[in-house]
Structure 1
């Protein structure tokens, strides 16, 4: 974070400063800002966020021990540290992030990219950050820091030397993307896709599309909208962008895409595609598995091009990416038994894409095994979408379908109903049962996909299998 005095922070957040002693109001801090006391360093700012299971105010002392010089609190605590008391620490964190980014932006060098979409946000963020790092100091979220806390915490990592801020925006509900993106008004709005992920929380896919479009209306007028023109719902956002005086750059496989992919081939070693932009053509070989990641790469290449990075440089940087993110199409195991741990999250779209990738990378003498858990936050569509994935798995000729957990039982029943019986499909109650089954079932030549929503936790099963066959 840039250097600010305690008094300045109190003014920005609208809080009451209670310095640890009268002479510290002018103390300047520029350390880490976080809600996790364990992440504090010397001069850090600890945000004492109340939570459903615990209260951050209990950890002010631990934050001080780790170097915190200031605590943002909602009530005074009995610890020897300067404190700013505010009505809501999350609102204060947002105000601080907005003010800090505005000050850095006033220097004229900082460009801000906002990314949203039902799937692919984190991978695209990582791709774009890898490209931009070669062009200047880049700040991007750690993991999936894309909510009301993670997004401002990321924003507060900018310094006077930061050239690019890449922000990932998740949608907790209608208006949430507008609030988060509105803190910084991105210069570029990147919208990847509108799918069924979280549709249950929005009341349907039309409302999900409206939520994603909030990134455009919260971006700077006259900026650039980078849109996936292969997704009709995203392509339809062109009109909204143009009303705001924004330039629209389309990416996709269609002939009218400004940045286009063709000749896509998925192999066990990665994904190949031909990329065309501004009349120039280059071959891309991603080490990341899956045709769906070509779209994420296109989004990153398009955004980077707007920011002045040549196509050849962008592709070279992308080809250095080994894994998009932990638990996202992460290769594990060995050459005999290959595990693909893609269980950080799941939606109908990403589940289907992962199953197709499994089928594509498995040779004729190898066996496909899909270990599948429930997809969460689908609302009234949950049953139908689990049915659809069960049917798809059978139609892709997945040889072993291992369904884990009671919430995914309908997926198993759909697979059996489609013709996957005689132990081709099994339903197991939990991860431990699945591990014991797979420990003896898996054999040389197996290619194994582990996929579920984050809340189901199958990523840990994937780790166990990866270690077993390492």
Structure 2
């Protein structure tokens, strides 16, 4: 965080400052801000966030031991640390993030990119950050820090030396993206796709469209909207962009009804070692060889290239830096195991779109004489659409001729039933209530030449099953 006096911090937080020890109102604080006491470093600021099962106020002592010099709290505390009392710590850190980013913008040349979409946000964020790191100091979210806690904490990492802030905006209800993006007013807003992820929270696909379009409305006038030309719901955001005074730049595989992709990919080839294509932009065409698995990641790369070129990065530099990315993120199409039994651990998130893309990638990277195995868990936050969407995944797995469909967990059972109804018999589809049962089965079932996809939402916990299988077959 930038250096601020305790008075400036209290004013930005709209809180009451209570001094301890030798601190004065003019004492300067510049340490990192975090809600996890275990991650606090010397000089850091601890945010005592109340939670569903634990209260951050109980960990203030631990934060002090690790070097915290300031606590942001919701009630007075006895601990010997200077603290600022606010009505709500989440509102407080959002206010502080807005203040810090505004200060850095006013003093330097900070450019802000916001990214949203039903799928691909974290991968695109990582790809764009890799490109921009070659241009100047870049701050981007750790893992999927894209909610009311993670987004402000990421923003608070900017300093006066930061050239680029890449913010990822997720949401489970209308209005969240507007609030988060409104803290920084991005120069560029990237919308990847509008799909069924979190549709239960939004109440359907049209509500999801309106929620994702909040990012376009939050981009500062004169900024740029980077939109997916291949998604009709995203192209429908172009009039919104025009309404708020934005330039639109399109990326994609082809042409939509009203526009053509200015950054385009052709000749896409998916292999077990990575994904290749020809990228055309700005009048030139260059080959791109991604180490990241999956045809769907080509779209994420195109989005990152479009945003980076809008910031003045050359296509040549974009390509060279993207080719250094080994994996999108841990637990996202992460290759594990060995050439004998290859495990693809993609169990951090799952939606109908990403589940379909991962299954199709499994089919694309499995060669002659090799066997496809899909280990599948539940997709969360689908609400009333959960049953039919799980059915579709089970049916797709059968149509792709996946040899072993291993469904894990009661919430995913309809995948198994749909696979059986679609014609997957003779133990081609099996069901296990727990990951431990599935692990025991797979230890004995998997054999040389198997290509295994492990895919589920984070809440299903199959990412740890993927890790165990990767270790066992390494």
Q: Counterpart of 1:463?
A: 467
Q: Is 2:253 aligned against 1:253?
A: yes
Whole-angstrom distance in 2 between the partners of 1:25 and 1:66: 23
Q: Is 2:313 aligned against 1:309?
A: yes
Q: Counterpart of 1:329?
A: 333
Whole-angstrom distance in 1 between the partners of 2:409 and 2:47: 37
Aligned pairs for 1:36-47 within 5 A: 36-47=36-47
Q: Counterpart of 2:129?
A: 129
Could you tell me how far 1:22 is from its partner in structure 2? 6.5
Aligned pairs for 1:86-235 within 5 A: 86-235=86-235
Match of 2:227, SS state, is strand
Match of 1:448, SS state, is strand
Change (3 A) 1:68 1:264: same
Could you tell me how far 1:108 is from its partner in structure 2? 3.6
Gaps of 5+ in 2: none
Could you tell me how far 1:369 is from its partner in structure 2? 0.1
TM-score of the superposition, structure 1-length normalised? 0.99
* Contact persistence 2:276–2:290 (CA under 8 A): yes
Whole-angstrom distance in 2 between the partners of 1:372 and 1:380: 20
Could you tell me how far 1:230 is from its partner in structure 2? 0.4
Could you tell me how far 1:244 is from its partner in structure 2? 1.0
Could you tell me how far 1:21 is from its partner in structure 2? 3.8
> For the aligned residues, what is the CA RMSD?
0.7
Whole-angstrom distance in 2 between the partners of 1:5 and 1:21: 16
Q: Counterpart of 2:349?
A: 345
Describe the superposition over 1:38-58 as per-residue Cα deviations: whole angstroms up to 9, x where unpaired: 111121111101111000100
Could you tell me how far 1:24 is from its partner in structure 2? 2.2
Whole-angstrom distance in 1 between the partners of 2:465 and 2:269: 29
Whole-angstrom distance in 2 between the partners of 1:96 and 1:436: 49
Gaps of 5+ in 1: none
Could you tell me how far 1:279 is from its partner in structure 2? 1.1
* Contact persistence 1:272–1:285 (CA under 8 A): yes
Q: Counterpart of 2:281?
A: 277
Match of 2:123, SS state, is helix
Q: Counterpart of 2:451?
A: 447
Deviates more, 1:216-225 or 1:350-359: 216-225
Match of 2:230, SS state, is coil
Match of 1:68, SS state, is coil
Describe the superposition over 1:4-45 as per-residue Cα deviations: whole angstroms up to 9, x where unpaired: 011110111111100004752211010010101111112111
Q: Counterpart of 1:396?
A: 400
Deviates more, 1:297-306 or 1:254-263: 254-263
* Count of residue correspondences: 470
* Contact persistence 1:32–1:39 (CA under 8 A): no
* Contact persistence 2:178–2:218 (CA under 8 A): yes
Whole-angstrom distance in 2 between the partners of 1:426 and 1:39: 41
Q: Would you identify which runs of 4 or more consecutive aligned residues in structure 1 move more than 4 Å?
A: none
Whole-angstrom distance in 1 between the partners of 2:135 and 2:207: 37
* Contact persistence 1:74–1:87 (CA under 8 A): yes
Describe the superposition over 1:413-454 as per-residue Cα deviations: whole angstroms up to 9, x where unpaired: 111111110011101111000000000000000000000010
